[in-house]
A and B are shown apart, each in its own frame.
Chain A
Amino acid sequence: MTFQMSDISLITPEIVLTLTALLVLLVEAFRPGAGRSDTTWLSIIGVLVAAAFALGQFGEKKLGFSGMLSIDSYSAFFKLIFCSIGLLCFLISDGFMKSEEYEHGEFHALMLMSMTGMMLMASSNHLLMMFLGLETMSIAIYALAGYMRTKEGMESSFKYFLLGGASSAFLLYGIALLYASTGTTQIDLLFNHFAAQGGMTHSPMALAGIALIAGGFAFKVAAFPFHVWTPDVYQGAPTPVTAFMATGVKAAAFAAFFRIFLVAFPASVESWSGALWIIAVLTMTMGNLAALVQKDIKRMLAYSSIAHAGYLLVAMVTATADAGTGLLFYLFSYAFMNIGAFACVIMLGRKGDQRTTLDDYAGIGFKKPLLAAALTVFMFSMAGIPPTAGFIGKFLIFKAAIKQGYIWLAVLGVLNSAASVYYYLRVLVYMYFKEPGEKADEPLRAGGLIALATTIAVVVILLLGMVPGAMVELAQAAASKF
């Protein structure tokens, strides 16, 4: 193991984010005070600079830090996703934290740290590196979930911490077993090891390791049967944090999940794709069924995010470059539609009164036309109805599955999509078809920033829905080069 100075240049986005986080902490320490947005702006600039560096990493293919990190188009694409998520979350959290009187710079610093962890996960070429990234991300999020110190927030944070700790243990145990049976934890070397054994692995210890790793990731992406924590944690956390978790953590976990399984274990694809097939179907079905009966929009979005994890697992099962294209495109567009939806939830809430029951949405369609129109776009996109990005994402994923012969998986997936339409439409039913309640006339908790975030999300979703060509090509390029 040797360290070269030139390796530093490979992690410029991570460095930028870390430095920004530190700078934010310093600014907060020397200029405390309420009602300011300067840490928000600082964080946004940091994220934009990091995104610019990440863009520069497209087309590269380098291993750094003795093979611990792999800098390639795949990780660059994910870094772009994380930066988009960070940007949107900073924009939507500013007004929220102000109205809740909780605007501290630490909030931004924690998010930036967490994003650094996500980026490391996406580019890790080593199971331990991946684990370090995962923990960097998770610890920051445990703190963020309970940031507001409300009763629900504390509960949310504690639940996430306990279960997250357990899942980390799973993962670590899986890594240990894998190391014991193969003698390496570097992802590309694992591939060589399995390939040398003639493909299919017969070592029970290695198989147990793979299963435990899959279990650890299943928890992070909220896949069946490790999904039960999601609604409570999502509901209790501050809404911007919920948005951040639902998109960022999911994207990061899928980034590592897909890379590990596709790079390290493709030779034993039969031994894990069958199990994942069942998990994928159960995940989307359980998520959708539970979402059908929710009366609270945050819980509904939590269950729907479980269902979305199910669709993304279809890409995992398919395990080809085509599926990777779908996965990347889907995660990218999912970030915009999900954060956009949470932005709308934030705008309708008030201090101490989140107003997340569906009844609170009655009649706002004509009382708050722009907000309702934006939420409509997000709901249609999540339901996968053209011409939105959500449709193209589902199309790409199911297309890859059909190509590989997973016809029943695709059919179950599209039937699940059809079922999900019901609860997404219910939001529209309340917004447009019901008479407005008393609260519908109150002004929105909006600032310029959150409105900007919502606008960006709507524009991106519609653009990706109507002219997806360039983004599809970018995702194709990223998914074919690990």
Chain B
Amino acid sequence: MILTILAFLPLIGAIAILLMKEESTGAIRGFALFTACVNFVISLPLLFGFDSAKAGMQYVEKVDWIPSLGISYHLGIDGISLWLVMLTTFLSVICILSSGSVEKKLKQYMFFFLLLETGMIGALASLDLFLFYIFWEAMLIPMYFLIGVWGGKERIYAAVKFFIFTMVGSLLMLVAIIALYYLNIKAGNPATFNILELYKLPIAPSVQMVMFMAFALAFAIKVPMWPVHTWLPDAHTQAPTAGSVILAGVLLKMGCYGFLRFAMPLFPNAVVAATPFMMTLAVVGIIYGALVAMVQKDVKKLVAYSSVSHLGYVMLGIFALNAQGVVGGLYQSLNHGISTGALFLLVGVIYERRHTRMIEDFGGLARQMPYYATIFLIITMSSIGLPGLNGFVGEFLIMMGAYLSSPIAAIFAASGVILAAGYMLWMYRRVFFGPLENEANKNLTDLTGLEWGYLMPMVILAFWMGIYPATFTSKMEPTITAWLSHIETKKIACMELEPVKNPVASLFSGAETLRK
């Protein structure tokens, strides 16, 4: 039951908020925060009760939903989704805390925010492809409104672009999901969308390739991988602070999660064949994102492009297809949620005070806001990957994994680390050091209690994940090991299958005979 409660409690909270009075903003804030906190507290036993030694799904719930099509309401989590669920419940609390500056239509804002939490947890816990698809698409709706109503000047463009990009990818995935469903039936199995059953289905390598492309496109857009990343800087820059945090923190991870949960274990031969290509895209993303970030004048845009670069690392790690790389990739996606989430929060802090995010408007802030500057520095370092902070662990594991599978990719990717140090430190220097010249900056106040409240947990986590990563990796490793061995054995099993000449057509041969 715990997963169902986690997924739908925010929805109940959202509906309750809808029934509250528009004017009672204090009560709305309080109640939204309460709902998110309760959800976070409920997710804690999930973490402590999780059996680290076990590789399979835990907390499984299964109820028939549309039995005539083999669709069921099927939830469960393993080492891959556990931490992402935790990250979601945790960041939701932080985001609601950081939404203090939202005054316009607060009721609707909190409604959509909690709705989004339901979508994210549902998508992360679904073990039925159909159910997953529903949550996956349903996530778009609240995010669309969050960007479109509460975003910046170009919010409409950004919101529509975000929606359409994601939609194109996921609709093609839907076609592939249905094709997979029929492939399973054709193989003589009962009709099902159950992902654990579909894992077992042997598919000829050439057929895998076609389906992998459809899945990979959907997830690559979400990650986003270069060159389908263009919606991301727009969406990030235009979204309100909390929207950016949740977008970077969780929504982008859905792409990585999709690769780990669906695209890769279902089509291992295609993955192996596509690895050089995907690694190249990942490395291009790393370097491209870093280079573009370097020339940004807007801090938020800089952070947005740095996301493109960081997620390139995540993808590189995942496609290294060894324990170090995959654990590193998963770990880095958590890191990115913390570091980039915190960076967006920090940018939000300064934006609320000055209503500008241009680097040139600042300078010398360290004198005026020493605490703010300190926390910003810590997070900057964590984003660059300084040892002792979270970013280092992830990047190190990814480099190790990537080196084992492709030294050249690792070398190129390493250059991204240098570039990252370049753009982040350069930005930091221009914003915080030098003389405090701009008059408007001379009366800025340092962090408020509330800001301390939502920034400190992020800083603590950045240190924790950097100093004692075993807390986190120990719960991932058994699952990842099993995941890798599944990929290996299925790959070998599928290699023995007859090669198929026309993979697209073969998916669909044997049409139902016509009847009167």
Contacts and interface: CB of A to CB of B under 8 A. Distances in A.
Do A and B make up one complex? yes
A160 interface: no
Contacts of B155: 433
B167 interface: yes
A472 B68 contact: yes
A312 B504 CA distance: 24
B70 to A, nearest CB: 11
B134 A386 contact: yes
B68 A473 contact: yes
B140 A407 contact: no
Contacts of A433: 148-149, 155-156, 159
A193 interface: no
A414 B511 contact: no
Nearest to B510: A405
Contact of A407 (B68, B137, B508): B508
Contact of A366 (B65, B105, B515): B105
B171 A417 contact: yes
Majority DSSP secondary structure for residues of A touching B? helix
B178 to A, nearest CB: 5
A402 interface: yes
A180 to B, nearest CB: 24
Interface string B171-211: 11011001101100000000000000000000000000000
Interface string B490-516: 000000000000001101110110111
Interface string A262-296: 01001101000000000000000000000000000
Contact of A418 (B167, B511, B512): B167
Contacts of A395: 174, 178
Nearest to A475: B68
Most B-side CB within 10 Å, residue of A391, A432, A476: A432
Given A407-B504, A421-B164, A422-B160, A386 B137 contact: yes
Contacts of A386: 133-134, 137-138
A159 interface: no
B108 interface: yes
B69 interface: yes
A465 to B, nearest CB: 9
Majority DSSP secondary structure for residues of B touching A? helix
A274 B353 CA distance: 64
Interface in B133-174: 133-134, 137-138, 140-141, 144-145, 148-149, 155-156, 159-160, 163-164, 167-168, 171-172, 174
A191 interface: yes
A320 interface: yes
Contacts of B65: 467, 469
A319 B514 contact: yes
B141 A380 contact: yes
A411 B516 contact: no
A398 interface: yes
Given A398-B175, A418-B168, A425 B69 contact: no
A94 interface: no
Contacts of A398: 174-175, 178
A193 to B, nearest CB: 13
Contact of B515 (A266, A417, A421): A266
Given A411-B175, A418-B171, A320 B512 contact: yes
Contacts of A476: 68
B163 A425 contact: yes
A219 B132 CA distance: 39
A433 B149 CA distance: 5
A321 B515 contact: yes
Nearest to B148: A433
Contacts of B134: 386-387, 391
A403 B511 contact: yes
Contact of B512 (A391, A403, A410, A414): A403
Contacts of A205: none
A418 B141 CA distance: 14
Contacts of A407: 175, 179, 504, 507-508
Contacts of A319: 514
A103 interface: no
B29 to A, nearest CB: 18
A482 B514 CA distance: 14
A72 interface: no
Contact of A421 (B163, B504, B508): B163
A468 B66 contact: yes
B49 interface: no
A263 B108 CA distance: 51
B140 A414 contact: no
12 contacts: A263-B516, A266-B514, A321-B515, A403-B178, A403-B511, A403-B512, A414-B174, A415-B171, A417-B171, A418-B167, A429-B160, A433-B159
Given A404-B508, A410-B178, A425-B160, 6 more contacts: A266-B515, A385-B137, A386-B133, A387-B138, A403-B508, A411-B172
